[in-house]
Amino acid sequence: MTGTLVFYSEFDDFEQWKRLLQREIPSLDVQQASTVTTPEKVHYALVWKPPENFFQRWPNLELVINLGAGVDALVGRRDLSDIPVTRLSDPNMARMMAGYVLFAVLRYARDIPFFEQMQKQAHWQYRHPRAAEEIRVGVMGLGELGRKTAQELARQGFSVTGWSRTFKEMVGVECHHGMASLSDFLSRSDILVIMLPSTPDTRGLLNDQRLATLPHGASLINVSRGDIVDEPALIANLSSGHIGAATLDVFEHEPLPDSHPFWAMENVLITPHLASVALPGSAVKQIAANIQRVSDKQPPLHCVDLNRGY
Ligand code: NDP
């Protein structure tokens, strides 16, 4: 196989990806965008949030590989025509996400924020633990990451409900779908986990009115995209106590500005968008297999639908 793969990411290690890709496909030329001198030889692009007009430079591009699961940065771009776009689909990435959410859910289920407060006051305050099945966890989005997470939560004994766009069946998870069931789903989520992609249909979905349907004192965990939640409405609900606590890995504007009210809120746990990351060691095989397929004139696997947005 001949051809060049162009790499672009401000977050990922180029040298590591190059080494791993060339171990899988020794004949593949792997270059950073800034070093490419013959753009017409570029057939593959491995990218995370490339700048505007990035794709215009490569007239013979055949495959775009998104260096993550969420493709919202590739939607609605004028520099991307009909080239297939694939996403990472790596069980280890799903496991990492499930681990983060499990940590956040258990933290609330076991009242850990309360004990953290008590410790600051050197106060021994017993609070009787609740059984997992008494705690209702609602998972919004049952895709590759949401599904694995919902299964993991069910395995821990929580009462898990899932919500997606289309009908789903899952052992141990009560599944709902569509807008008609959203209000009921939210009203039964003591802990709400947001795992939806950011699309025109989901942006701002959790507005003030919908947050009001959560049970009083509910916890909210957002690990997908910040713009799915109306941030001012979330701040108001966290301040009033209607939402008791939030774990936020994603924000409308990242990095979260220094002056943002979330930083000072005691009932908010902030992490800087790392609930799950691309794991080169395991994801490289899927990427190499797709490059090989395209080189062999076969359709790639794990394509996303940019019109749908995920
Ligand atoms: P998928 O694309 O595999 O699945 C998306 C899920 O959301 C599907 O179940 C889909 O329903 C559902 N969905 C989409 N639109 C709607 C809608 N309008 N109403 C109801 N349900 C809807 O996504 P993943 O599980 O792989 O990932 C989810 C998101 O997590 C990514 O899009 C990304 O933004 C984010 N992410 C965050 C990371 C982090 O570190 N914080 C890391 C990786 C990803 P259906 O199945 O019926 O189509």
Question: b/e string for 252-274 if b means 16 or more Cβ within 10 A?
Answer: beeebeeebebeebeebbeeebe
Question: Is there a single domain that holds both residue 32 and residue 111?
Answer: no
pLDDT tens-digit series, residues 61-98? 999 999 999 999 999 999 998 899 999 999 999 999 99
Question: Is there a single domain that holds both residue 63 and residue 81?
Answer: yes
Q: What is the whole-number distance in angstroms between the Cα of residue 230 and the centre of ligand 1? A: 18
Is the backbone of residue 96 left (phi > 0), alpha (psi -120 to 50) or beta? alpha
Question: Is there a single domain that holds both residue 96 and residue 243?
Answer: yes
162 lines ligand 1 (CB under 6 A): no
301 lines ligand 1 (CB under 6 A): no
94 lines ligand 1 (CB under 6 A): no
How far apart are the C-alpha atoms of 150 and 221, rounded to whole Å? 13
Confidence of residue 255 (pLDDT cuts 50, 70, 90): very high
How far apart are the C-alpha atoms of 257 and 247, rounded to whole Å? 17
Query: According to the model, what pLDDT value does residue 29 have?
Result: 97
Q: What is the whole-number distance in angstroms between the Cα of residue 147 and the centre of ligand 1? A: 10
Cβ neighbours of residue 60 closer than 8 Å, sequence gap 6 or more: 40, 41, 42, 43
Residue with the two structure tokens 């895709």: 143
Q: What is the whole-number distance in angstroms between the Cα of residue 288 and the centre of ligand 1? A: 24
Residue located nearest, by CA, to atom 37 of ligand 1 = 224
Residue located nearest, by CA, to atom 30 of ligand 1 = 224
Query: According to the model, what pLDDT value does residue 102 have?
Result: 98
What's the mean per-residue pLDDT of the chain?
97
pLDDT tens-digit series, residues 108-140? 999 999 999 999 999 999 999 999 999 999 999
Is residue 225 annotated as a catalytic residue, yes or no?
yes
What residues make up the domain containing 55? 4-89+278-295
**263: CATH:** 3.40.50.720
Q: What is the whole-number distance in angstroms between the Cα of residue 239 and the centre of ligand 1? A: 28
Cα 33 → chain centroid: 26
Q: What percent of the chain has pLDDT over 70?
A: 100
Question: Is there a single domain that holds both residue 152 and residue 184?
Answer: yes
Confidence of residue 2 (pLDDT cuts 50, 70, 90): confident
